[in-house]
Chain A
Amino acid sequence: MAKRDVNARLPEGPGELIDRARPVEFMFGGRKVSALQGDTVASALHASGVTTLSRGFKYHRPRGLLCAAGRCPNCLVNVDGTPNVRACTQPVKPGMNVRHQNAWPTLKWDALSVLDRLGWLLPVGFYYKALHRPRLLWKLARGVIRRVGGLGRIDIRDNHENGYRHKNVHTGVAVVGGGPAGTAAAIAAAKHGAEVTLIDDQPILGGSLRFSQFEPGGPESKAAAGTAEGLAKEAAETPGIRVMTGAAVFAFYQDNLLGVLSGRDLVKLRAKQVVMAAGSFETPLLFENNDLPGVMLCSAAQRLVRQYRIRPGRRAVLAASNDGGYAAALDLLAAGVEVAAVLDSRPGSSRPPETTRALEAAGVPVLAEHVVEKAIGRGKLRGVTVRPLGGREPSQRRKFRCDLLCTSGDLQQADGLLYQAGAQREHDPESGLPMGWKLPPGVHAAGDVTGPQSLAAALLQGRLAGLEAAQSLGRESASLREEIDDTRRRLDAAQESHDAEDGIEYVRNSPAGKRKFVCFCEDVTVKDISVAVAEGFDDIQLLKRYSTATMGPCQGKMCHKALVGLCAHFTNRSVASTGATTARPPLQPIPLAALAGPSHVPMKRSPMDRIHRDLGAVMVEAGPWQRAHSYGSPNEECLAVRRQVGMIDVSTLGKLDVRGSGAGALLDRVYTHRFSNLRVGRIRYGLLCSDDGTIMDDGTVSRLADDHYFVTTTTGNVDLVEEWLKWWSIGQDVSVHVNNVTSDYAAVNVAGPYARQTLSKLTKVDLSPGAFRYMRFARGEIAGIPAMFLRIGFVGETGWEVHVPAEYGESLWEAVMEAGSEFGIRPFGLEAQRVLRLEKKHLIVGQDTDAVSNPLESDVGWVVRFDKQDFIGRGSLRAISERGLRNRLVGFVMSDGVTPYDGAAVVSGGAPVGRVTSARHSPATGKGFGLAWVPVEMAVEGSRIDIVVAGKTVPAAVTHQPVYDPDGKRLRE
């Protein structure tokens, strides 16, 4: 690798992107590389003589710069730990660490390049054909393939530093593509008052005008840079245009939603109108060794010259099937590159006369109807052999020595987004050649994306699209209509008729070759395609999947046209009847991290959350909520509740405010119990069933006033119950409103023998047993805070649920803790509550019941009122009752100290017949106990069931009684 001086760039020229006064240094493969501000990694490497940037995916052949525009896979590198970054669009930054990928041990000496010689072992679709037998072979091969395959390695230590941001932007008109047509469209729309967002993937506006010396038309026409500069300036000065450069539109989703990746921002751009002006780009030619470093697209060489002022080689050959090669030859000559020859596969009459004259005047031979046969060199281009079209004789071959071969195959319209938008290409019914586009509403197209254009036509087309977009936005005016008509007239005059081409010429002279690469991403050759078609994969969609052509990082940008052409050629069909592969988002690979976006997870916290954290509570996720699991010792917390007093934060309970004259009737209809007859100030346990009689949720219902109820639900089900109540309230012809007020209240459950004394210190509400009985409700103040008192007993002790406005949560907690300190109050967490309620045989919906549990079998049949009018699930429950119960949820006590896991099997004769839903160790009895589903014949008080604990069967006794306070005296004290 010859080292060049980075400062030895071409003299300053119009449109260059580098800042010569600001040198930048970065690392590549462990060595320092000098660059200039404005360089891309690829341009800087090229300037310092590095021509091999990566290795091929399959054969590990060296690959160099090909497109220099962020489209092909040839320059994928790892930048600061992020794999698969395109070196040709990544701007250099001081100190950045760039490493090669897909090569070992070094980029120059890659051990796996041996695969290039073992290609016969890896025919197209080899993984479908080989390695099947013996079966062990696949197991071995799988490991190797997984290790060798894939592209780039993700550094799992590199995480949040490189986070992406998501942004939503709304705009009137989105213009995709900042070339002449797109910029003209943006200016025209904005001048008529539209709010415009103009997006281009290159660092500056101007499109192809930015890398050509002259406007299309050759040396007689104007300098392209001037035209581009003028357009960019006008766009910048027109109010209402927001320009996004260096931003890639990777997707077009429904309703004109564009996915745009701009640096670390993922922009969701919603546009009322979209103008597609993404232009077209060159594709590689097909010849032997067409992937050799030194072979690049004409536009890539032009970009190096014009934008980065680098001489891309010393002696060049140009090969084209369009006018692009001629313009590039002039640019190279101007940059001091010796041009050995210009080849054109078309007949001499197609040559652009002005440019040809200029080239011939400079002594450059222009060979019509000539093509490249082979690129010569190992790891680096040293020369080419060329031949006339159809000339197969060795004597007709000519050889040119060169270190640069610029190619320009057929132009590929950048139409991926148009297809994603639902646009369809129309074909001439007779010739089958492509004509125009049928566009969906709200989408316009302009410029080369619609087909090859003259610059004048592209500008007019852009302007027309912009005007029409503004018109569709409702910016109707006489002057706008006039301008549209005028532009249309001028466009008709300016449009030259281009001979439509179907792209098949492209491949007709490309007989199968072993190293003629169609798809650079997946290393698919012309031979692979011919073999695949011969094997029967002759439909374009099948061919794509079987050969994997178009499925790599470039997503078909470099190879789609060739693939379709080859498929048509090998199957003797027209291109139109061959069809195309489907364009889907993303148009180009984008990091998953960009789609994932910011890393915050919505998390619900109780008003007392800070206190729990300060107390060192073990926090657990209960659905979306953060809850305290325990404060150190669940055992001691249980004992505190049983012997003194405990407090648990129950703010997470679902709470619904149900009011209106129809509130009672609604609850009667939805719950299995009756609530319209509940007296004001009283509480009743409630259970909801779905139509099939299975349990949906449970909770308490308090009647606050005649037409006002306060309903609690389980923590996880409040949204479901709210929706369920609202759904069933719709049919009612009386007023009822359901509001979810979970957020509005902080709540604690204070329970234990000293709960009454503790709370009485803080409130004037009479809590004495005679005045405030079990399942009663009252309002009052506690510690100066307005509160609701609900006397209920989930944990089986005298206790109150106290609800206060959420903002007082911390004050309430602190006041109760202080008041209870003399009685030994302790906060208790979820785990203690689970043990305490289990001792009382209180079920938890979702833990002890599942999607098929009904109340009759779950031992809560006492809340099902068959004697009231219809309620949801009544019919099903009646049927279950008549059919007879099959299983039952029963309590059990283990015969010794072992405790089964939740979910342990209940077995009979070695076969599972039921399961444990909750089991804990009882601090009071020293035995394991819990709840289990068993067949109804085993659900007899005192009968023995066998539970599997740690692989052994351990006997347990069935009980229908709670293990603690079976008569419920303590609850009611």
Chain B
Amino acid sequence: MPASPVKKSAMHARQLGAGARMAGRDGWSLPAHYSGVEREIKAAKESIAILDASPMGKLLLQGDGLEGILSGALIPDGPPATGGVRRLPSPEGGLLAKLAADEYLVLCNPADLPQLTETLGKAVQGCAHALDRTSGLAGLRLTGPKSGRMLGKLSEFDCSPASFADLSCAQTKCAGIRCTLVRNDLGGLPSYDLYFPREFGEYVWDAVLEAGEEYGAAAAGFKAADRLMG
């Protein structure tokens, strides 16, 4: 039997082409860094760092009565309004984004997914259910002061701070395809997560990198991301 299986993102081949040094993390083969961690951090602080967010756990909650189920023990402050995002309580943490009246997306670190799936899976009963979309949705995280402006090249959605503040979400079109947009600022830097169907991975990668070129955007690995998150 071959060596243990490896999870690869839809943008894996493009990342190798961009000179990524791959390393294992949470079972995924991911770019640890490209040309240099310092350069990538500088890009995040001064323009835009582009990070593969595909490994993020993505749990879709659908159905009637979710509001009641999620209030109470799971989310003490109650779920957010549509278009809003709320942090989930520890230990697992993560984010709860309300996409529509009867639809929520839970985002969490890959390691926390099994526990969250169990907790939420148990709680979500009746005419509601949880569906793990981690495999189907590829993700890109755009972090940096110019990320909003760059998104303006990809999407007609108004990402300006006034209308799309930190901890907001939207379902919109980016680079011509449907995607879920979540704003979750990182250490004071504007940061946007884009989640889109995995099969468009290479196309979105190309479109995003091309859009970022004029702002000096750089692809970044998880080492830079770790440092940014402190």
Question: Given that A660-B127, A735-B63 are contacting pairs, would A745 and B200 also be in contact in the complex, using a CB cutoff of 8 Å?
Answer: no
Q: In the assembly, what is the distance between CA of A815 and CA of B54, in Å?
A: 23
Q: In the assembly, what is the distance between CA of A914 and CA of B202, in Å?
A: 43
- CB of A807 within 8 A of CB of B135, answer yes
- CB of A735 within 8 A of CB of B8, answer no
A221 within 8 A of B: no
- CB of A739 within 8 A of CB of B1, answer no
**Minimum CB distance partner of A610 in chain B:** B13
CB distance from B202 to the nearest CB of A (A): 6
Interface residue ranges of A733-768 to B (CB < 8 Å) = 735, 737, 739, 741-745, 761-762
Q: Which of B77-85, B206-214, B220-228 contacts A (4 or more CB under 8 A)?
A: B206-214
Interface string of B45-81 (1 = CB under 8 A from A): 0000000001000001011100000000000000000
Query: Which A residues lie within 8 Å of B2 (CB)?
Result: 783, 811, 814-815, 818
CB distance from B121 to the nearest CB of A (A): 13
A831 within 8 A of B: no
Interface string of A7-42 (1 = CB under 8 A from B): 000000000000000000000000000000000000
B118 within 8 A of A: no
Question: Given that A167-B153, A735-B127, A743-B135 are contacting pairs, would A603 and B202 also be in contact in the complex, using a CB cutoff of 8 Å?
Answer: yes
Query: Which A residues lie within 8 Å of B230 (CB)?
Result: none
- CB of A783 within 8 A of CB of B1, answer yes
- CB of A605 within 8 A of CB of B201, answer yes
Interface of A is mostly: mixed
Contact among B5, B131, B157, B177 with A785 in the assembled complex (CB-CB below 8 Å):
B5
Query: Which B residues lie within 8 Å of A270 (CB)?
Result: 156, 158
Question: Given that A600-B203, A602-B200, A807-B28 are contacting pairs, would A170 and B13 also be in contact in the complex, using a CB cutoff of 8 Å?
Answer: no
- CB of A815 within 8 A of CB of B200, answer no
Question: Given that A605-B201, A743-B137, A784-B5 are contacting pairs, would A610 and B63 also be in contact in the complex, using a CB cutoff of 8 Å?
Answer: no
**Minimum CB distance partner of A734 in chain B:** B127
B10 within 8 A of A: yes
- CB of B129 within 8 A of CB of A659, answer yes
- CB of A737 within 8 A of CB of B129, answer yes
**Minimum CB distance partner of A805 in chain B:** B135
A166 within 8 A of B: yes
Q: In the assembly, what is the distance between CA of A601 and CA of B207, in Å?
A: 9
- CB of A603 within 8 A of CB of B203, answer yes
B197 within 8 A of A: yes
- CB of B152 within 8 A of CB of A169, answer yes
B35 within 8 A of A: no
A374 within 8 A of B: no
Question: Given that A168-B155, A607-B10, A785-B5 are contacting pairs, would A625 and B136 also be in contact in the complex, using a CB cutoff of 8 Å?
Answer: no
B32 within 8 A of A: no
A606 within 8 A of B: yes
Contact among A610, A741, A809, A812 with B136 in the assembled complex (CB-CB below 8 Å):
A741
Query: Which B residues lie within 8 Å of A742 (CB)?
Result: 136, 197, 199
Contact among B7, B155, B199, B211 with A604 in the assembled complex (CB-CB below 8 Å):
B199
Query: Which A residues lie within 8 Å of B210 (CB)?
Result: 598, 600
B90 within 8 A of A: no
Question: Given that A165-B214, A600-B207, A610-B13 are contacting pairs, would A744 and B136 also be in contact in the complex, using a CB cutoff of 8 Å?
Answer: yes
Query: Which A residues lie within 8 Å of B5 (CB)?
Result: 783-785, 808, 811-812, 815
Contact among A195, A601, A607 with B162 in the assembled complex (CB-CB below 8 Å):
A195
- CB of B136 within 8 A of CB of A605, answer no
- CB of A810 within 8 A of CB of B207, answer no
Query: Which B residues lie within 8 Å of A818 (CB)?
Result: 2
B133 within 8 A of A: yes
- CB of A761 within 8 A of CB of B152, answer no
Interface residue ranges of B1-37 to A (CB < 8 Å) = 1-2, 4-10, 12-13, 28
Q: In the assembly, what is the distance between CA of A657 and CA of B163, in Å?
A: 35
**Minimum CB distance partner of B199 in chain A:** A604
Q: In the assembly, what is the distance between CA of A810 and CA of B10, in Å?
A: 11
CB distance from A270 to the nearest CB of B (A): 7
Q: In the assembly, what is the distance between CA of A598 and CA of B214, in Å?
A: 14
Interface string of A269-291 (1 = CB under 8 A from B): 01000000000000000000000
Query: Which A residues lie within 8 Å of B177 (CB)?
Result: 602
Query: Which A residues lie within 8 Å of B89 (CB)?
Result: none
Contact among A165, A783, A784, A809 with B8 in the assembled complex (CB-CB below 8 Å):
A809
Q: In the assembly, what is the distance between CA of A401 and CA of B214, in Å?
A: 54
A609 within 8 A of B: yes
B198 within 8 A of A: yes
Which of A169, A268, A605, A815 lies at the interface centre, i.e. has the most chain B CB atoms within 10 A of its CB? A605
A806 within 8 A of B: yes
B188 within 8 A of A: no
B160 within 8 A of A: yes
- CB of B10 within 8 A of CB of A166, answer no
- CB of B1 within 8 A of CB of A762, answer yes
- CB of B12 within 8 A of CB of A610, answer yes
Q: In the assembly, what is the distance between CA of A660 and CA of B2, in Å?
A: 38
Q: In the assembly, what is the distance between CA of A809 and CA of B2, in Å?
A: 14
**Minimum CB distance partner of B137 in chain A:** A743
Query: Which B residues lie within 8 Å of A598 (CB)?
Result: 207, 210-211
Query: Which A residues lie within 8 Å of B155 (CB)?
Result: 168
Question: Given that A166-B153, A784-B4, A810-B6 are contacting pairs, would A602 and B158 also be in contact in the complex, using a CB cutoff of 8 Å?
Answer: no
Question: Given that A605-B10, A761-B1 are contacting pairs, would A739 and B153 also be in contact in the complex, using a CB cutoff of 8 Å?
Answer: no
B187 within 8 A of A: no
- CB of B156 within 8 A of CB of A168, answer yes
Query: Which B residues lie within 8 Å of A809 (CB)?
Result: 8
Q: In the assembly, what is the distance between CA of A665 and CA of B96, in Å?
A: 32
B123 within 8 A of A: no
Q: In the assembly, what is the distance between CA of A762 and CA of B2, in Å?
A: 9
**Minimum CB distance partner of B6 in chain A:** A811
Interface residue ranges of B118-159 to A (CB < 8 Å) = 126-127, 129, 131, 133-137, 152-153, 155-158
**Minimum CB distance partner of B158 in chain A:** A170
B116 within 8 A of A: no
Contact among A610, A762, A807 with B54 in the assembled complex (CB-CB below 8 Å):
A807
**Minimum CB distance partner of B204 in chain A:** A602
Question: Given that A602-B177, A609-B13, A815-B5 are contacting pairs, would A167 and B152 also be in contact in the complex, using a CB cutoff of 8 Å?
Answer: yes
- CB of B127 within 8 A of CB of A744, answer no
B176 within 8 A of A: yes
CB distance from A761 to the nearest CB of B (A): 7
Query: Which A residues lie within 8 Å of B165 (CB)?
Result: none
Query: Which B residues lie within 8 Å of A812 (CB)?
Result: 5
B175 within 8 A of A: yes
Question: Given that A660-B127, A744-B135 are contacting pairs, would A807 and B9 also be in contact in the complex, using a CB cutoff of 8 Å?
Answer: yes
Q: In the assembly, what is the distance between CA of A415 and CA of B54, in Å?
A: 50
Q: In the assembly, what is the distance between CA of A268 and CA of B13, in Å?
A: 33
Question: Given that A603-B203, A741-B136, A743-B135 are contacting pairs, would A168 and B4 also be in contact in the complex, using a CB cutoff of 8 Å?
Answer: no
- CB of A807 within 8 A of CB of B8, answer yes
Interface residue ranges of A813-836 to B (CB < 8 Å) = 814-815, 818
- CB of A743 within 8 A of CB of B131, answer no
Query: Which B residues lie within 8 Å of A814 (CB)?
Result: 2
Q: In the assembly, what is the distance between CA of A812 and CA of B135, in Å?
A: 14
CB distance from B168 to the nearest CB of A (A): 15
Which of A603, A812, A818 lies at the interface centre, i.e. has the most chain B CB atoms within 10 A of its CB? A603
Query: Which B residues lie within 8 Å of A167 (CB)?
Result: 152-153
Query: Which A residues lie within 8 Å of B135 (CB)?
Result: 743-745, 805-807
Query: Which A residues lie within 8 Å of B163 (CB)?
Result: 170
**Minimum CB distance partner of B150 in chain A:** A167
18 A/B residue pairs, CB under 8 Å, sorted by A: A268-B156, A270-B156, A270-B158, A598-B207, A598-B210, A598-B211, A605-B199, A660-B127, A660-B129, A735-B63, A742-B197, A744-B133, A805-B134, A806-B10, A806-B136, A808-B5, A812-B5, A815-B1
- Known pairs A807-B8, A807-B28. 9 more at Cβ < 8 A? A170-B160, A600-B203, A600-B207, A604-B197, A660-B129, A735-B63, A784-B1, A806-B10, A818-B2
Tell me the A residues contacting B by CB distance below 8 Å: 165-170, 195, 268, 270, 598, 600-607, 609-610, 625, 657, 659-660, 735, 737, 739, 741-745, 761-762, 783-785, 805-812, 814-815, 818
Give the top 5 A-B pairs by smallest Cβ distance, nearest first.
A744-B136, A743-B136, A811-B5, A604-B199, A807-B7
